[in-house]
């Protein structure tokens, strides 16, 4: 009987070890499971704007960044020029100060703000790359779902894609409320659109509403071309990186920018959720090996542009081309005499009808070459000589 009892005990121990080993394998499989964003189910009921604000507001965060800027005070510029960039990339350390500085290096801390989207309960945050690019410190403010209290966290950069203008941050937090991704391909013009973000860097969790104005609008800002969603929901500096939600409370876009074109006042843009989802998952799952598709270098003229489409051309009696909305100080474009409001119609002897044309033509140029730029300026053709600048190296390292 003793031998039989011992055999039973031994059998139980072996079975226990097998079960334990099995659970360990299951646990390991769960830990190694690739990250996937939370996506919406097919069936959903339309919600009111207050319900969307309540349900989705806790998935949106405010972001503040600090960047140390070193400048030489012999240049044109005040260190306070563009101090509050609010995530739009406005401003330059070389502004409109006196050129009679003493030629010594000085520095100041540039503060900016934007928005972000919670994509996991354990602290992954999606935002625009331009909101956090070059920042020395990133602070994320999270609104609790069951409280009016706000908590702040220091964030680290997991990785980014400059070509898609997205970045993923990580904060040390648990129990967060991730946004539910919708299908941006299903959007149609005229349906409701709700924007939640941090306008002006001061109104955390602000809600604005409008409609989807267009679903396929190609535009270029800082040499990044986006096939954007257009909306008339109010978007202001600081909303960059925030969420564009549909009538079901599903995330269908990452807020990208407000139009600064006079002709398009009141229109804002968002990157479709379907265009960023795969990149977000790749950044998180392959953070040690992720590389942006545009890794390398590119020629930066120092302009912010948007397309003058055929429809806009006919409506406002303007030539097709690319409309300049901003010219950076001390840039190749400024030195050539390009101005805000110019419409580029030719570059280096080739016709320009859209931002994609301009980018392809630029890519064929050599640094130091002098090329002719033809612009429409207030209805008159103006020809300017531009010196092609050195390509700008693109940093795609993950941190």
Domain identity same for 165 and 212 = no
Domain identity same for 274 and 200 = yes
DSSP 39: B
Domain identity same for 133 and 223 = no
Q: CATH no. for residue 131?
A: 2.40.10.10
Domain identity same for 144 and 194 = no
Active-site positions read 130, 165, 240
- Domain end residue (candidates: 170, 188, 223): 170
In the three-class reduction of DSSP (H, G, I as helix; E, B as strand; rest coil), residue 336 is classed as helix
Average predicted confidence (pLDDT) for the chain: 78
Q: Confirm whether 27 is domain-assigned.
A: no
- Domain end residue (candidates: 143, 170, 197): 170
Nearest Cα neighbor of 301 from 355, 247, 253, 257 is 355
DSSP 84: B
Residues in the chain predicted with pLDDT less than 70, given as ranges, are 1-32, 42-43, 70-105, 145-148, 218-225, 258-265, 288-298, 391-399
Judge whether 255 and 261 are in contact, CB under 8 Å.
no
Domain identity same for 197 and 96 = no
pLDDT tens, 150-208? 899 999 999 988 778 899 999 999 999 999 999 998 999 999 999 999 998 888 999 99
Q: Confirm whether 221 is domain-assigned.
A: yes
pLDDT of 380? 93
Q: What is the pTM (predicted TM-score) of this model?
A: 0.62
- Domain end residue (candidates: 285, 317, 342): 285
Domain identity same for 279 and 323 = no
Q: Residue 309's domain spans which residues?
A: 297-393
Domain identity same for 194 and 242 = yes
pLDDT of 173? 94
The sheet carrying 156-161 orders its strands as 150-154, 137-143, 60-72, 105-118, 124-127, 166-170, 156-161
Distance CA 244, CA 248 (A): 11
Q: Confirm whether 360 is domain-assigned.
A: yes
In the three-class reduction of DSSP (H, G, I as helix; E, B as strand; rest coil), residue 356 is classed as helix
Domain identity same for 66 and 133 = yes
Q: Confirm whether 356 is domain-assigned.
A: yes
Q: Domain tally for the chain? A: 3
Domain identity same for 158 and 206 = no
Distance CA 292, CA 287 (A): 11
Q: What is the number of other CB atoms lying within 10 angstroms of the CB of residue 153?
A: 18
Distance CA 359, CA 357 (A): 6
Judge whether 170 and 125 are in contact, CB under 8 Å.
yes
């Amino acid at each position: 009987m003793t031998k039989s009892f011992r055999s039973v005990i031994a059998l139980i121990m072996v079975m226990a070890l097998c079960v334990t080993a099995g659970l360990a394998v299951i646990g390991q499989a769960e830990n190694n499971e690739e990250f996937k964003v939370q996506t919406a189910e097919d069936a959903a009921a339309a919600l009111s704007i207050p319900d969307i604000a309540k349900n989705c507001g806790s998935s949106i965060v405010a972001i503040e960044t600090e960047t140390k800027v070193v400048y030489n005070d012999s240049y044109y510029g005040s260190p306070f020029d563009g101090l509050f960039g609010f995530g739009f990339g406005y401003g330059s350390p070389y502004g409109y100060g006196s050129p009679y500085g003493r030629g010594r290096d000085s520095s100041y801390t540039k503060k900016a703000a934007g928005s972000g989207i919670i994509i996991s309960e354990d602290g992954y945050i999606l935002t625009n790359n331009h909101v956090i690019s070059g920042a020395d410190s990133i602070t994320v403010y999270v609104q609790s779902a069951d409280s009016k209290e706000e908590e702040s966290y220091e964030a680290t950069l997991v990785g980014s894609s400059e070509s898609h203008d997205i970045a993923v941050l990580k904060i040390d937090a648990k129990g967060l409320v991730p946004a539910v991704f919708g299908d941006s391909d299903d959007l149609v013009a005229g349906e409701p659109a709700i924007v939640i973000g941090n306008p002006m860097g001061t109104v955390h969790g602000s809600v604005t509403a409008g409609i989807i104005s267009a679903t396929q609008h190609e535009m270029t800002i800082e040499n990044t071309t986006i096939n954007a969603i257009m909306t008339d929901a109010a978007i202001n500096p600081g909303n960059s990186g925030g969420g564009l939600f549909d009538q079901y409370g599903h995330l269908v876009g990452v807020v990208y920018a407000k139009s600064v074109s006079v002709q398009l006042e009141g229109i804002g843009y968002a990157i479709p959720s379907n265009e960023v989802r795969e990149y977000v998952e790749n950044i998180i799952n392959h953070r040690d090996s992720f590389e942006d598709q545009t890794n390398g270098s590119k020629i930066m003229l120092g302009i912010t542009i948007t397309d003058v489409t055929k429809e806009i051309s006919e409506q406002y009696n303007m030539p097709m081309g690319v409309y300049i909305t901003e010219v950076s100080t001390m840039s190749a474009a400024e030195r050539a005499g390009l101005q805000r409001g110019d419409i580029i119609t030719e570059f280096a002897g080739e016709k320009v009808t859209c931002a994609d044309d301009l980018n392809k033509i630029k890519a064929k140029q050599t640094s130091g070459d002098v090329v002719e730029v033809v612009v429409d300026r207030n209805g008159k053709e103006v020809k300017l000589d531009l010196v092609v600048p050195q390509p700008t190296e693109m940093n795609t390292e993950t941190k």
